[in-house]
Amino acid sequence: MVEKQTQRVTMHTVAHRAGVSQTTVSLVINKNAENIPEETRNRVWQAVKELGFRPSAAARRMRTHRSNFIGFITDQIATTPHAGKIVKGAQDVGWENGKIILLINTDSNPEMEKEAIEVMMEQEVEGIIYASMFNHAVTPPEMLREVPTVLLDCFTQDHSFSAVIPDEIGGGYTATEALLKRGHRRVAFANHNTETGGSVGRLIGYKRALADYGIPFDESLVCYEVGEANGGYRCSQKLFTRSDRPTAIFCFNDRMAMGVFDGLRKLNLSIPSDVAVMGFDNQELIAPHLHPGLSTVELPHYEMGRQAVMYLLNQIGKTFKEIEPQEIIVPCPLVIRDSI
């Protein structure tokens, strides 16, 4: 039976109960006790159990300088549905390797970012993940150069930090190719009207797929609007009221596709018989629930979280300078439903 704790149980209390020295207790509980008689070891473990003693992680840290913490700094966990998957992927790999994630959301506030990193340094994190909730160029605080750091779903223009990013070009190619393979030759692209890793990369992938299938790029089939449902709606009204309307459309994300669905319905065009529609993201709240279910390309958030921690695990103990910056590009798989 564990006795009720009325005050803090320390190694000293355990030593007293077992009738041994604190050093002996320390050696036993840290599994460093080959030279201690089994009978003594058993007495120590018995006392540990009776008193409900729990070795302090702080004390272990003081000894080993291994905190087992990985810092996770993120810009906007609250507003994106992807955040949970990225965090989960990071945690799952961390957990398998005895690491705990210290998560701090900073709302992209530079002052708070600085403080968050200070707090993490004080906690002696063994590495830091600096995560954004959409793929774009960032300028991370210089302080991050003090520990192994990896950017997640973002990158620096000078490539001086390692980064885990989705294969935007490959994803754009995959989405477009899925439409071309079904015989479409006039494939529109409803793109996001702000320059991000996604909007730039997916356009490159779209163009490459067209080229590989021998179809000339037609600028007039690319529509730029905000990457939301209403942006998709507006694109549909521009593209599908033309006499030479396209037969298929690739959308920057599932939300734009949701707007395209509404727009096509308004124009009395059926999906996929009149127009095939591809999304991007595989947003679970949207894609499977549209009618018909939306074919799309998945942003591999869980896998990106995993990869970030796997990368850090190999860098722990190195100084930032010893690390050769590296880009880890994670593939975006095709998810086929009924809209193409």
Residues forming the site for its own copies (CB under 8 A)? 5, 8, 54-59, 61-62, 65, 67, 77-81, 83-85, 87-89, 91, 95, 100-105, 112, 118-119, 121-124, 146, 228-230, 255, 258-259, 262, 265, 283-286, 289, 291, 302
Closer residue to its own copies, CB minimum distance, 145 or 186? 145
How many helices (H) and strands (E) would you count in the chain? 11, 12
Closest CA to 77 of 143, 152, 141: 152
The Cα–Cα gap between 239 and 322 comes to: 52
CB of 327 to its own copies, least distance (A): 25
Taking the least distance from each CB to its own copies, the nearer of 89 and 205 is 89
Q: Which is nearer to its own copies, 47 or 73 (CB)?
A: 73
Compare residues 40 and 68 and give the one whose CB is closer to its own copies.
Answer: 68
**CB 87 to its own copies: min, Å:** 6
Mention every residue, 6+ apart, whose C-beta is less than 8 A from residue 240: 246, 263, 264, 267, 269, 275
Our CB check for its own copies shows the closer of 104 and 267 to be: 104
Gap between the Cα atoms of 170 and 166, Å rounded: 9
Tokens of 194: 């702000």
Q: How far is the CB of 273 from its own copies (least distance, A)?
A: 17
- Match 């030479």 to its residue by tokens: 244
Q: DSSP E strands: which ranges in the chain?
A: 69-74, 100-105, 127-137, 149-155, 162-166, 187-192, 222-225, 248-251, 276-278, 296-297, 327-330, 334-335
CB of 276 to its own copies, least distance (A): 20
- Closest contact distance (angstroms) between CB of 122 and its own copies is 4
Measured distance CA(47)–CA(39) in Å, rounded: 13
Look at residues 336, 296, 333, 332 and name the one whose alpha carbon lies nearest to residue 168: 332
Axis crossing angle, helix 229-239 with helix 254-266, rounded to the nearest 10: 50
For 100, the token pair is 């705990």
Residue 305 CB, nearest approach to its own copies (Å): 9
* Complex with its own copies: residue 109 or 194, whichever CB lies closer: 109
Q: How far is the CB of 203 from its own copies (least distance, A)?
A: 24
Based on CB atoms, which residue is closest to its own copies, 185 or 266? 266
Residue closer to its own copies by CB (options 88, 182) is 88
Q: Which residues pair with 330 in a beta bridge?
A: 166
278/189 Cα distance (integer angstroms): 9
Q: Quick one: tokens of 329?
A: 């590009």
In whole angstroms, how close is the CB of 185 to its own copies at the nearest point? 31
